[in-house]
Amino acid sequence: MGDTFFEIIGLEKSFRGLKATNNVSLSIKKGEVCSIIGPNGAGKTTLFNLITGLIKPDAGKIYFMGKDITGHSPVDIVHAGIARSFQIVNNFPRFTVYDNIMIAALGYKKLAMKMFTPAKGIAKNEIMELIDRIGLAKEAHSLAGELSHGDQKRLEVGIALASHPSLLLLDEPTAGMSSDEKGGILETIKRVMKESDCTVFLCEHDMKVIFSVSDTIWVLHNGAVVTSGTVDEIRNNSLVKEIYLGEAE
Amino acid sequence: MDKIRNLQAGAREWVWYVIAFVILMIVPFSGSIFWTNLLTEILIMGLAAMSVNLLLGFGGSLPFGHAAFFASGAYATALLIKETNLPFVAVLIIAPVMAAVVGAILGIIITRLYEFYYAIVSAASCMVLWTLIRKVPIFGGDTGITGVEIPEILSSIDAMYIFTIIIVFIVLIFTKILLNSPFGWIQQAIRENPNRVTCTGSNVLRHRYIAFIISSFICGIAGMLFVLHTQSTFPSYAHWVKSGDFVMICILGGVNTFIGPMIGAAALIILQTYITSLTEHWLLFLGISICLLVIFMPSGIMGLAGHLPSKIQSLYRKIRS
């Protein structure tokens, strides 16, 4: 315990008797892309919410870089080095792209209480560089709420990256995208991984996406881990096919 | 390029404030006691409304209890002057601090809440203070405190007016700087999406609490100025209807603009004064005109003013083509 980069042990969470997370244990190695798959309602987003502290687990432990972060506040968890993007677009719609990233940068630098310097001057180059990296340089001064869906998903990743995470949680980054857009955001994710030395924990529906980027895959069904393995192992796993295609065979 | 444009836009705004300041300073020399008095009241009410708008327009909350801080500032000023021998300058500092202390106490509960709960609990805590002020003898009961003596130098209407302008403009500049700072940006981000702010590593609860205290401090300054202006204070200052007035002024002027509350205060007070002089059923007409204003200018007077140039442009283009 504590030697691994990120580890969950026996995590449990129930909502009114429904076990959304049922004795989940998994671990992630530094520098890999770890994916979690499972049908709708398998408990993927609940797991992400537990990790980022938005909801508190009923039982179990979460370790990150040797520290127990179980039950810590979302703010502490961001500063510990875990940031996330959301499945449903979750930005500041009446702010520009630049301002969205700026808010996250201010949070990371713990400057929220600074009262007498103009915010616009802070970390300007750093913010523009990040906007460039997520491919929104042309849209830097457009309102976030007026971007296309694909660009809003990019911004979503950008806001998470502004927290300089060691572990980046991406909750369905390609949901609702066209296949062209998917290719684009995948390139972005791969590039970001290389450049910023962060480990990615990905939750995704699209199998093509999963198989093209993942090192390890965990399969979640009815709140419990069913199996895990490399891309090839999961691709040929009969149980996984059964979960996804039904038991009609 | 962007930097230059931002600077220009910023500078243009400051130029407007300087012009407004100069025009306001000239008013007393016109010799109209009526307007000098009216403008003093507008500036003070505008300041109180602006403190509300810091939480309303810029923070996305609905503070319905700011009369509590207005009254705290007012009563603190009256009592400090009447009951103690503190120098006047000390009173000017202690009175708003008292309002901030009341804000710090009430804010512990209020800032944990959102939406209706926030509005109702803030209105309720304001009513608790109202009851206290009426029942505790030192506050003078229903008759309030009258005959508050102010220093010789401020005793003329013009001097009080100039003093008000100076204090109000200092606070305006402070607020403007605050809103452009990281604190102000996070405050506005919380209005847009508090959960996302939490997930980017800023403490939303602490932020809302500090903003609440700053806002009550500014509202306390307004209460203090009002006592110096009228030399008396009454329990009605703490009534939630007064809080409602502040919110209405903000909505009337435009909650999404910095200067909106000032414009709203001017509109409401001038409307009030003129309609009162026309008919005894003035509340009826005031109500109707406010309904009409809100229906036809949903984003307030400043919101309409912001759209006006583009509307005129499009009209001009239509006429030409």
User: CB distance from B274 to chain A under 8 Å?
Assistant: no
Q: Is residue A81 part of a domain?
A: yes
Query: Tokens representing B88?
Result: 């006047």
pLDDT tens series, chain B, 321 aa: 455 555 566 677 788 888 888 888 888 777 788 888 999 999 999 999 999 999 999 999 999 999 999 999 999 999 999 888 889 999 999 999 999 999 999 999 999 999 899 999 999 999 999 999 998 888 988 888 888 888 888 888 888 999 999 999 999 999 999 999 999 999 999 999 999 999 999 999 999 999 999 999 999 999 999 999 999 999 999 999 899 999 999 988 888 888 999 999 998 899 888 888 887 787 788 788 778 877 887 777 877 777 666 767 777 777 777
For A215, the token pair is 């090192």
As a three-state string, the secondary structure of chain B is CHHHHHHHHHHHHHHHHHHHHHHHHHHHHHCCHHHHHHHHHHHHHHHHHHHHHHHHCCCCCCCCCCHHHHHHHHHHHHHHHHHCCCCHHHHHHHHHHHHHHHHHHHHHHHCCCCHHHHHHHHHHHHHHHHHHHHHCHHHCHHHCEECCCCCHHHCCHHHHHHHHHHHHHHHHHHHHHHHHCHHHHHHHHHHHCHHHHHCCCCCHHHHHHHHHHHHHHHHHHHHHHHHHHHCEECHHHHCHHHHHHHHHHHHHHCCCCCCHHHHHHHHHHHHHHHHHHHCCCHHHHHHHHHHHHHHHCCCHHHHHHHHHHHHHHHHHHHHHC
Looking at beta carbons, which residues of chain B come within 8 Å of A112?
182-183, 186, 202-203, 207
Read off the pLDDT of residues A70-97 as tens digits, 9 standing for 90 and up: 889 999 999 989 999 888 888 999 999 9
Q: How far apart are CA A73 and CA B229, in angstroms?
A: 48
- How far is the alpha carbon of B273 from chain A, nearest alpha carbon, in Å? 38
Domain assignment of residue A1, yes or no: no
Q: What is the pLDDT of residue A1?
A: 46
**Candidates B185, B206, B210; nearest CB to A119:** B185
Is A227 domain-assigned?
Answer: yes
pLDDT in 10s for each residue of chain A, 249 residues = 446 788 888 888 888 888 888 888 888 888 888 888 888 778 888 888 999 999 888 888 898 888 888 889 999 999 989 999 888 888 999 999 999 999 999 999 888 888 888 888 888 888 998 898 888 888 889 899 998 888 888 898 889 989 988 898 988 888 877 777 787 777 887 787 777 778 888 888 778 888 888 888 888 888 888 888 888 888 887 787 777 766 544
Do A104 and B200 make contact, defined as CB atoms within 8 angstroms? yes
Nearest to A83 by CA among B188, B198, B183: B198
Angle (nearest 5°) at CA B237 between B232 and B239: 150
Around B189, how many Cα atoms within 13 Å sit in the side-chain half-sphere? 36
Of A52, A54, A112, the CB nearest to B182: A112
Provide, as residue numbers in chain B, all residues whose Cβ is less than 8 Å from the Cβ of A162. Answer: 200
Q: How far apart are CA A199 and CA A167, in angstroms?
A: 5
A162 domain residue, yes or no: yes
Given the structure tokens 């909750």, which residue do they identify?
Answer: A171
Give me the residues of B, 201-260, that contact A with CB < 8 A: 201-203, 206-207, 210
Classify strands A82-85 and A167-171 as parallel, antiparallel or unpaired: parallel
DSSP code at position A148: -
The verdict on a CB contact (< 8 Å) between A113 and B195 is no
**Lookup result for tokens 């009262």:** A115
ipTM: 0.88
For residue A60, what are the domain limits? 6-245
CA distance B3 to chain A (A): 10
Q: How many domains does chain A divide into? A: 1
CB A120 within 8 A of CB B184: no
Cβ neighbours around B284 below 10 Å, total: 11
Query: CA A18 to CA A15: how far, in whole Å?
Result: 5
Q: What is the CATH number of the domain that holds A50?
A: 3.40.50.300
Q: How far, CA to CA in Å, does A105 sit from each of A156, B2, B86, B205? A: 13, 20, 46, 19
